[in-house]
Amino acid sequence: MSEIPQLLLLFAVGSIAGFINVMAGGGSTITLPTLIFLGLDSALANGTNRIAIIIQNIFAIFSFKQQKVHRFKQSLQLAFWTLPGAVVGAIVAIRLTDVWFQRILGIIMVGIIISMFFSPVKDNKEKDGAEKLNWLVYPAMLGMGFYGGFIQVGVGFLLMAALYHLLHLNLVFVNVHKVFIVFFYTIPALAIFVWSGNVNWVMGLSLAAGNAFGGWWSAQFAVKGGERIIRIVLSIAILIMALKLFGLF
């Protein structure tokens, strides 16, 4: 495939992935295989994908801000705890996960679907994140940072589940925190991939343009559609990812 069709393909794939990532998660299950298909090895694809993640979330953050839906002070407080884990995770991110880890992750994804629909938490629709944080969220963020720095795939699902259950938030505000946290910890993770020479800037910026486009509109859609539409999109995305990890999709 010549360069221009490659870049157009990456923009198209990025647009879809950006929309899915901001609304739910799992967009990297599309972008990483695409980058590998276009000739990048696993480590190079992993690093290149981080450019798109950062730019996508910058656009999503500004989209949420434009709609006056944000809690940046609390988002920063949460994001800070992901940094040590993200640095360590990126350092050990030599290659993609093995088959057994994929199967375990598939089980986790199914568990998240069940927990989102059968949670004992009540009245989440009234909670916007202004309450005092549950202390358990801090070690959870440390673990999320490690996982996101290492592999990134599916971290949006795990972050949403942690924030939803530990902080009892409306899913719209869960999304607001998620995009800010992922943006924040991806900065040092990307720096490590750049330092190790595992970034293709041309492909990464083409993918990022698509991710930014999809991420911006996804944030608009999330606020207008509310918690119900996020729950539906999240569950569909998780189910597709789980089936893919089990080799059934």
27 compared with 118, residue with greater pLDDT: 27
Give long-range contacts, CB 8 A cutoff, 24+ apart: 62-69: 62/216, 63/215, 63/216, 63/217, 63/219, 63/220, 64/175, 64/176, 64/179, 64/219, 64/223, 67/219, 67/220, 67/223, 69/172, 69/173, 69/176, 69/223
Mean pLDDT of 100-120: 59
Percent of the chain having pLDDT more than 70?
80
Inter-residue contact 75 to 177 (CB < 8 Å): yes
Mean pLDDT of 66-70: 84
- Tokens representing 129 are 């994140």
Inter-residue contact 22 to 217 (CB < 8 Å): no
Q: How many helices (H) and strands (E) does the chain have?
A: 10, 0
Mean pLDDT of 174-190: 93
pTM above 0.85, yes or no: no
Domain tally for the chain?
Answer: 1
pLDDT band at residue 120, thresholds of 50, 70 and 90? very low
Inter-residue contact 156 to 178 (CB < 8 Å): yes
Domain, as residue range, for 55: 3-245
Q: Which residue has the tokens 């869960």?
A: 174
pLDDT band at residue 249, thresholds of 50, 70 and 90? low
Res 150 pLDDT > 70: yes
Inter-residue contact 238 to 157 (CB < 8 Å): yes
pLDDT digits (tens, 9 = 90+) for 202-214: 999 999 999 999 9
Mean pLDDT of 37-59: 91
Mean pLDDT of 109-120: 59
